Structure 1
């Protein structure tokens, strides 16, 4: 009885209870949550329906069945159920914290309307709440079916939750990888500073009973966090050698687990990373981890190349897929010299597409040496006077790469063996570029 009286007291303070619905009004105090969020769970008869006009681009569509419901857990003072209204929609019951608060909540509309506020509660006591939507068998007389649609939810977070969400804006995922801590490098400094100031001001209001001030602080945090995130422009891969040569990403390479943390997986279509203003000299070393693709017909495609106006091979390393070989081809200009059909054990061997290999290309004057997993595989004469390149590019082939390192000196086999299985510090002698792919930056 006490629980019911407490809930009744809460509902007496409800400012709005909408059962007829209206379009989404994205006030600054409301946060969007799509149905795929971990705080949303569902069971029973539900299916995912693609809908580009829905909140999040798709929605759950369900109807009455045994133990069928959608449940959203939130910490806040208001909540909205967002869904599509149409002629096929029926009734639903709504529960808050285990107690029935509404029945025959109608999703019917003679025409399809996306992102509608189907149900809303406001003025709730601060704290954690659970909203449950249960499809009913009944429907309105005009409805053709008794479906229920859930795009997601909106809620007014408590102040502590709004502060937590604003702090999380500094680590928004890009391409599946959480950004690092160097805030100014990811967002315009002014936008970041405004959000920091708002967080500090909001923290002073924790525990305040001034509802108007708290609501304004929540709205301000949400607005400034959105402004900061939306100000991000370009995703780049930082150079951990301190030389400032970032890797510029195009396409959409995927972040994967590599041998030394995170790596990149390229689709072989339009995924590329380009590093400008880097020159590979006659005494230099290039190292990286590589996983080869399955060979495809007579396809030859670049794995990594130092390119320029007059060259795509200063040097250039190819995946040699002709005849279904799993081998490497090296070529340099102006002499068109290098090697063909070389596997991890030399000629006659092939790379396993399921295995990672460490590749090192070392230019020592007239010769190029290939090391695989710190073992010398082949040394070939390439001559001197290599055509100068202007930038390094990799990812033309559908390959996986991790830990790219470029040196302006000859690395010995012993040096390669000493550190190829571990990350570098970034200040090793002769290191002129280091991209471990552990983080990204927005500029």
Structure 2
């Protein structure tokens, strides 16, 4: 299973034994051992983890949020303070300082987005003191394409997909995307899918709350995954409509962290806490004071749930008798609308869209056609918001066994 994402801290106690180690091969890259970092200049880097240089870039900001009193924090981060005061004019200085702390911690914590995705799929600690991913016996091939602050280019992403395919992975998870397609990336995905008939690529539908999934999820042949919350509703952020294949839990934490997806974090590294005491409280998305575990939300985490289910299905098909099309067909056929609910807002949104036509933009923040693959006739409200339904791991695995 390849995870193409940001920082993947594969030495996390729950991931270190689940990381694929490169053997001897003729096309092995210089120093390649545990995946590859395509975000680095030139030909890349052999380590997808946070480097000492990168730690030095973000350590001070992270520690400021714990060390500095409110008045010093406001002074040091004047620009951010000014933005927040405009947004929250009635907030006190202490409230603004609290928001600054949370924003900086969230930004730095989310640098480990790839670690979050990998944990959802394959977390499995040796001492059983941690958490279990959807497919805890799956091996992860870590592939980094994002630098710090979300820096990425499409050429690196295309290279990463080709690299993953060359390493004969069964599944590629991409918890990433944008609204508009990239021609080179699309061609690369088509080429890889054509050349590897058993390879399944899974991508997040997007967090834009738009009719029509983003890309690469919208590329034909890629399994696109939207997100539901704990009550079975579509999450407030999940994109829907054209191109959506199915949904899985993605978390919703605006009211409570307990509604999030529990996974592996990255701020437990010693460098973050060097020279300071670890707090005696939890903070931000962290479940524990170190941030070894976090609770998150996004289609970025519903996608790896489906990737994990595909891994479980592949585990019941060791001889690879089933093609990608057969695996995806089973995923879709075993998905269910049981337990899913339409919110009143979504029901009304569907009524309006059905009335004006499913090829018409309704209240979209960007100018583009409604849905990537407009239907000739209206789909049901359930399919509009949930695709083929909620992924059903047990039914999908049993269906593979019966084949």
Q: Same fold (TM over 0.5)?
A: no
More strand by share: 1
The structure with higher relative contact order (CA 8 Å, sep 6+) is: 2
More helix by share: 2
TM score, norm. by length of structure 2: 0.23
